[in-house]
Amino acid sequence: MNKQLLLEKYIKVAVKKALKEQEEQQKKAEKAMYMVYRFPGLKKLMEDLMSPAFGRYINGINIVAPKPTTFKVDLTNGQDFSIKYIGRGNFQVKVAGRKYDPINVGELERASQGIADLLELNYAPKEAEGTPSDGGGEQPGAAELGGEIAAAETPPPAGGEAAPPTEAPAEEETPPTEA
């Protein structure tokens, strides 16, 4: 196979993978929005706490307790907070261990600031195994395409022949032992 065909196959697989990921993300967003629209006061509260575009910042909303109805809101960075329905259209928000009553404007603002603080806590994304950044393995997507594309992506060194792999000296540091 020539490089053009390999490149076309790689692009096709990459596009299919991207479309699949986008489809999964859209399904998650629809599931999160289902809870918001099923409980009428929840949408207004989420808009008051975050913004009308709160969907960008949440991964999902789940019911964790039936009585009192308690929702767990998962944010995009892995953090979460809870909302408890306390009756007659009233809710109580618990952010980072503190409870807020959104009927009170001051407490609503403090809860909103607490959520903003949670969103600022952005942990590093988990790196996939075999990425070039960790120094080893195959290129991303090469597993789906087989060894042919992986071989085509890493051209042999100049000189025509593949050089034998060189081994690094075996200098391993042993961790200090605790006595």
Could you list the pLDDT tens digit for every one of the 179 residues in the chain? 688 888 889 999 999 998 998 888 777 767 767 777 888 788 899 999 998 888 888 888 888 998 999 999 998 888 999 999 998 889 999 999 999 999 999 999 999 999 999 988 876 455 444 444 444 444 444 455 455 455 445 555 555 555 554 554 555 555 566 55
CA 35, 37, 43: angle at the middle one, nearest 5?
95
130: left (phi over 0), alpha (psi -120 to 50) or beta: left
CA 72, 77, 83: angle at the middle one, nearest 5?
20
> For the whole prediction, is pTM greater than 0.75?
no
Q: Name 95's bridge partners.
A: 98
